[in-house]
Amino acid sequence: MKFILKNTSAVDLFAFLAIILLPWQARWILAYRTIDGQPYEYGTIGIYAGSVVVVAAIFLLWHSRQAHPRMTWPAKVFFGWLLLSSLFANDAVLALWNLGLAVIAFGYFVIASSWERAKVIGALIAAGVAQAVIAWLQFIDQRVIASTFLGVAEHTPWVLGQSVVIIHGQRILRAYGLLPHPNMLAGILAVSLMLVVYRFIRNERLDPAVRSQAVRQKLEVLFLLLLSALLITFSRSALVSVLVIGFGWFAVALATGRLPQIRGLGRLFLLGLLLFLVFTSIAGGIWLERFGIVPVSGEQRRLETLSTSERLLSFHEAEVVLKPRTLGIGLGLGSFVPALAEAIPRLPVYVYQPVHAVPIMALLEIGVLGTAFLIWFLYSLLPKGIIRRGAHDILKLYPVSLVAVLLVIGLFDHYLWTSYFGQSLWWVVFGAAVSRTS
């Protein structure tokens, strides 16, 4: 936070605000698309308040010559394909609006790849910490207070349809933060948590004579705060992503004999394990139930069965709308839900949901070629020789491997594709990962 308090420029301020306000969901709604006369979330056309800050930050970066965005051939081909797919969508206006949001979300890549990486990481950690504090206040109060300014709807555990778990026979509201769903909150918490781990390892690598004990203790406190907040979201995909990447880092450190990384990761693992055991003990083993380690009983079994059946049903629904045209040019951005409602009519509007897997949503909405162009575009953004540089110092690869946190989450959820927040989170993490600045 020192760069905010000292020698702060307009570029630093707006770039920091753009990232820390990433979860801000306030928007000016212009129109609703409907299914059988009922509006649905994925058909909402509106302008997000935070996008204004993003545009301002990009302008300042460009004006200060820190950002030099240029349209490469992969970028031209990919965004050109999105435009073509949108024009041929059944609802071209909705698809084009979603394309506009996707372009603004890409602005986070411009910010994160142009701004100093250390500052981007600091801002992402600050954003996660702010959401963690809000999450704990909500969890203690067992209520999310509605706010038009913050773009937050009211959530209480006794209302059906809310995201809850059953602990000691009681409906317990999962933490939402300022986001529409606990899984989305868990995404930014997982990213912030792993960035804290990354900074912890960097500090441990320093010579003992200059290593800061105060920094170590601060990072340990942040680690415990973010992990505890992640636990009260009860998001399995986010916790699995943290475990996969964390164990991956540990395995690489063991294989390369990097003692500072081994010691640092081992210390955090023991702290995290202790916190998990205490939390699980107090919460009646709910996390063990969520992972199927112990038998699930009562109302929690019904919730778990419902969650699993809904996810499996969404894969079947993807087959229903899968046609040669869909695989060819795609349905258009944001067009899966209305296409599903057309294929399977007369169901309650809340039943129509995206498939819980980003790769499948990409194939459905932009087609096989569009997905190939996306992969080509992402590959083109990677710095040349990044693997070779990482071979000399494995820690250089850690920021890039942070993208894997979101890749794992994307296998089990759709918000990284279907929401402005999810796309923005992806691009800011990817931008920080490939940034050439220190």
Best CA proximity match to 424, nearest among 164, 146, 49, 169: 49
List per-block mean pLDDT (blocks of 10 residues) for the chain, which spans 438 residues: 56 94 95 91 94 94 74 92 94 95 96 92 97 98 95 93 91 96 97 95 76 88 98 96 92 82 90 96 89 78 78 83 82 93 90 93 95 95 68 67 92 95 97 79
Angle between the N-to-C axes of helices 403-410 and 182-205, in degrees from 0 to 180, rounded to the nearest 10: 150
CA 18, 20, 23, 26 torsion-angle sign: negative
**Exposure b/e, 116-153, CB count within 10 A at least 16 = b:** bbebbbbbbbbbbbbbbebbbebbeeeebeeeeeebbe
Strand, coil or helix: 356: coil
pLDDT at 280: 92
* DSSP label of 140: H
pLDDT at 428: 97
A 10 A CB-CB count for 315 gives 12
Q: Are 186 and 235 in contact (CB under 8 A)?
A: yes
Task: State the Cα–Cα distance between residues 190 and 430, nearest whole angstrom.
Answer: 14
Task: State the Cα–Cα distance between residues 192 and 202, nearest whole angstrom.
Answer: 15
Task: State the Cα–Cα distance between residues 66 and 110, nearest whole angstrom.
Answer: 10
Q: Are 378 and 429 in contact (CB under 8 A)?
A: no
Task: State the Cα–Cα distance between residues 431 and 108, nearest whole angstrom.
Answer: 7
Q: Which two tokens stand for residue 390?
A: 């990482």
pLDDT at 4: 44
Best CA proximity match to 197, nearest among 243, 155, 257: 243
Strand, coil or helix: 344: coil
Angle between the N-to-C axes of helices 336-343 and 358-381, in degrees from 0 to 180, rounded to the nearest 10: 150
| Backbone phi, psi, residue 278, to 5° | -65, -45
Task: State the Cα–Cα distance between residues 348 and 341, nearest whole angstrom.
Answer: 10
pLDDT at 296: 75
- N- to C-terminal Cα separation, the chain: 16
Q: Which two tokens stand for residue 352?
A: 């129509």
pLDDT at 5: 42
CA distances 301 to 230, 286, 367, Å, are: 22, 11, 37
Task: State the Cα–Cα distance between residues 286 and 300, nearest whole angstrom.
Answer: 9
* DSSP label of 33: E
pLDDT at 2: 47
Task: State the Cα–Cα distance between residues 206 and 219, nearest whole angstrom.
Answer: 15
Task: State the Cα–Cα distance between residues 55 and 104, nearest whole angstrom.
Answer: 8
CA distances 3 to 119, 123, 206, Å, are: 8, 10, 22
Q: Per residue, what are the HEC states of 224-266? A: HHHHHHHHCCCCHHHHHHHHHHHHHHHHHHHHHCCHHHHHHHH
CA distances 107 to 143, 178, 248, 430, 438, Å, are: 33, 21, 30, 12, 20
Q: Which two tokens stand for residue 401?
A: 């491997």
Best CA proximity match to 317, nearest among 283, 347, 287, 280: 347
Q: Are 420 and 101 in contact (CB under 8 A)?
A: yes
pLDDT at 388: 59
Best CA proximity match to 57, nearest among 116, 102, 13, 105: 13
Best CA proximity match to 154, nearest among 169, 143, 170: 143
Tabulate helix, strand, coil % of the chain (nearest 5): 65, 5, 25
Task: State the Cα–Cα distance between residues 112 and 134, nearest whole angstrom.
Answer: 25
